Structure 1
Amino acid sequence: MNDILHSLDQALRLIAGGDAGLVAIITLSLRVTGLALLLSMLGGVPLGAALGLSRTRLRGLVTALLYTGMGLPPVVVGLFVYLLLSRSGPLGAWGWLFTPSAMILAQTVIAFPVVTSLTMTAVQGVDPALRVQVRALGATSRQEAWAVLLEARIGVVAAIVAAFGSIISEVGAVMLVGGNIAGKTRVLTTAIVLETRQGDFSLALALGVILLVLAFAANLAFLRLQGRD
Structure 2
Amino acid sequence: MDLIYEGFAKAVALLAALDREVLDITWLSLKVSGTATLLSLVFGITSGTALALANFPGKRLVVSAVNTGMGLPPVVVGLFVTIFLWRNGPFGSLDILYTPTAMIIAQAVIATPIVCGITVASIQNLPPNLRLQILALGATRPQMVWLLIREARLPLLAGVMAGFGGVISEVGASIMVGGNIKGYTRVLTTATVMETSKGNFDVAIALSLILLLLCFAINYLLTRIQQRERPR
Q: CA deviation at 1:72?
A: 1.9
Residue in 1 aligned with 2:187?
187
Deviation >4 Å, runs of 4+: none
8 Å contact from structure 1 (residues 14, 203) kept in 2 = no
Question: How is 1:19-34 mapped onto 2 (pairs within 5 angstroms)?
Answer: 19-34=19-34
Matched residue type, 2:197: R
Change beyond 3 A, Cα 1:144–1:8: same
Partner of 1:87: 87
Counterpart of 1:128 in 2: which secondary structure?
coil
C-alpha deviations, 1:38-73, integer Å up to 9, x for none? 111111111111111112224323212212222221
Contact 1:85–1:95 under 8 Å retained in 2: yes
Alpha-carbon deviation of 1:134? 1.1
Indicate the SS of the match to 2:192. Answer: helix
Q: What amino acid is aligned across from residue 174 of structure 1 in structure 2? A: S
Contact 1:154 1:225 in 2 (8 A): no
- Equivalents in 1 of 2:226, 2:100: separation in Å? 33
Q: Counterpart of 1:166?
A: 166
Identity %: 49
1:83-139 superposed Cα distances (whole Å, 9 cap, x missing partner): 111112111111111111111110011011111111111000011232222122111
Other-structure match for 2:119:
119
The one-letter code of the counterpart of 2:93 is A
Q: Which runs of 5+ in 2 are unaligned?
A: none
* Alignment of 1:57 onto 2:57: yes
Distance 1:26 1:187 in 2: 7
* Alpha-carbon contact 2:157-2:226 (below 8 Å) kept: no
SS of equivalent residue, structure 1 residue 104: helix
3-state SS in 2 of match to 1:71: coil
Answer yes or no: is 1:72 the counterpart of 2:72.
yes
Per the alignment, residue 223 of structure 1 pairs with 223
The superposition leaves residues 123-159 of structure 1 with CA deviations (integer Å, 9 ceiling, x where unpaired) of: 0001123222212211111111111111100111111
Q: What SS is found at the alignment partner of 1:116?
A: helix
Bigger Cα displacement from structure 2, 168-177 vs 128-137: 128-137
Would the aligned equivalents of 2:47 and 2:116 in 1 still touch at CA under 8 Å? yes
Q: How far apart, CA to CA, are the structure 2 residues paired with 1:37 and 1:72?
A: 16
Unmatched segments (≥5 aa) in structure 1:
none
The equivalent of 1:39 in structure 2 is 39
Residue 200 (structure 1) shift? 2.2
Contact 2:7–2:204 under 8 Å retained in 1 = no
Q: Compute the displacement of 1:176 (Å).
A: 0.7
What is residue 138 of structure 2 aligned with on the other side?
138
Preserved CA contact (<8 Å) 1:123 1:152: yes
1:105 aligns with 2:105: yes
Q: Match of 1:170, as an amino acid?
A: E
Contact conserved, 1:111 with 1:167, CA < 8 A, in 2?
yes
8 Å contact kept, 1:32–1:103: yes
Whole-Å separation in 1 of the counterparts to 2:76 and 2:189:
17
Q: RMSD of the alignment, in Å? A: 1.4
